[in-house]
Amino acid sequence: MLVPIAPGLHDGEAIREEYREKILADIAANTGVDLRDRIVFEEQFAVSEFGERYNASEGTALGLAHTLRQTALLRPNNRSSAVDGLYFTGSFTTPGIGMPMCLISGEHTAEALIEDCE
C-alpha cells in the first residue's frame, strides 16, 4: 500500500500503527476484504527509512516538490554554479521527479559533462 504523505513529518511507532490501522480498515470497508488476519509478511518504509537509508532530505520519497519556483528550468541545474566540475542529476534537479524525468536528467548531465570536456 502506497500512502502519500509530506516529507519531514514526525515518524514513530505510534503514528505508524495509527495509519496502518486506518489503511487496513479503509481497504476492508471499501473492498469487503479484511486483510488484517491474512498478512504473512509485512515491512514498512517511511520518512525515517528514506532519510536514513537513502540520505533523502527530510525523508522525502520524491525529491523537490513541483511548486512553481521548483518546476522544470527553475529546479536546480545539472551543473553546479559554485564548484567547477561538480554535476547533479536525479529527482532534485531539472527536469523533475519520476523515472522518465530522472533518465532525462541523467542525459542532460552527461551532455553537460561532455560539452565541458570538449
Ligand X SMILES: Cc1cc2nc3c(=O)[nH]c(=O)nc-3n(C[C@H](O)[C@H](O)[C@H](O)COP(=O)(O)OP(=O)(O)OC[C@H]3O[C@@H](n4cnc5c(N)ncnc54)[C@H](O)[C@@H]3O)c2cc1C
Interaction site with ligand X (CB under 6 A): 2, 54-55, 61-62, 90-91, 97-100, 102
Compute the distance between CA of residue 87 and CA of residue 109 in angstroms, rounded to an integer.
7
The residue among 5 and 34 lying less far from ligand X, judged by its C-beta, is 5
The residue among 9 and 34 lying less far from ligand X, judged by its C-beta, is 9
CA distance to 40, 80, 83, per residue, from 102 (Å): 34, 17, 22
The residue among 37 and 111 lying less far from ligand X, judged by its C-beta, is 111
Give the Cβ contact number of residue 101 at 10 Å. 19
Q: How far is CA 98 from the centre of its chain?
A: 9
Give the Cβ contact number of residue 55 at 10 Å. 7
Nearest residue to ligand X by CB is: 90
Q: At its nearest, how many Å lie between ligand X and the CB of residue 51?
A: 11
Q: At its nearest, how many Å lie between ligand X and the CB of residue 99?
A: 4
Q: In which residue are the cell numbers 554554479 written?
A: 81
Q: How far is CA 89 from the centre of its chain?
A: 14
Q: At its nearest, how many Å lie between ligand X and the CB of residue 61?
A: 4
The residue among 91 and 94 lying less far from ligand X, judged by its C-beta, is 91
Q: At its nearest, how many Å lie between ligand X and the CB of residue 32?
A: 26
